[in-house]
Amino acid sequence: MEVFLHNFANLETLREGWPILASGLWMTFKLVLVIVPLSVMAGLIVAMLQGLGLRWLNAVLIVYVDLLRAFPPLVLLILVYYGLPFLGLRLGEFQAAVFTLVINGASYYGEIFRAGIEAVPQGQRDAARSTGLGWLATMRHVVLPQAVRNVLPPLTTNTLELIKITSIAAAVSLPELLRSAQLLQGLVYNPTPLIAAALIYFVLLWPLVRVVSRMERRMIASHAARM
């Protein structure tokens, strides 16, 4: 037991290395604060553009969504960080991670929002337009509030997944939480920092997981009550 605690729960290592882990945690927070809002807004724009009914635009958006959803985010990040310089565009580690995760996350948010928009009855849109509301006003005041309510659980679940995959930024040496834990492990020759990073992720995300589960149960109960 003593050997196990020394290797996987070394409090002295955590005490000495906490500043490094704290710095990585702050970097992860900054990534999340930038990536999640941008991804949500970009995904909403994608879904709204699909609602315009322009055939050529829908074809472009379908290719974008399918391609980004099928492409592994880690591979995409490596291509963005190491490949774009050959095209004359060099992004820093933070910018490359943000760009990659935003375009990837927007493809998922776009599909979720699209499903929510399509679930709103066409009659409500027609009624709103008959009162003089334009397309944008109808989307903003009538369609989107209902669409977001319809897809709130998958929106929250996708946000959780997006937060978790910020850890791939370690592949381009961005000192977020996972990368910081790896660096600290290399300094102390002990896996305790990696265990600590995993526990930090769990403590931060578990409450959100419980919220998602509760929303899903309420939605199932609501559908059952209507039947």
- Check if the beta carbon of residue 34 is closer than 8 Å to that of residue 98: yes
Task: Tell me the C-alpha to C-alpha distance, in Å, between residue 132 and each of 119, 126, 128, 141, 145.
Answer: 23, 10, 7, 13, 19
**Amino acid residing at 51:** G
pLDDT at residue 220, as a whole number: 61
What is the pTM (predicted TM-score) of this model? Answer: 0.86
pLDDT at residue 103, as a whole number = 95
pLDDT value for 31: 95
Q: Which residues of the chain have pLDDT under 50?
A: none
Domains and CATH numbers, the chain: 2-226 (1.10.3720.10)
The pLDDT, as a whole number, for residue 101 is 96
Can you tell me whether residue 19 is helix, strand or coil?
Answer: helix
Q: What is the pLDDT of residue 193?
A: 85
Angstrom distance (rounded) from CA 17 to CA 28: 17
Sorted by sequence, the CB contacts under 8 Å of residue 157 that are 6+ apart come out as: 212
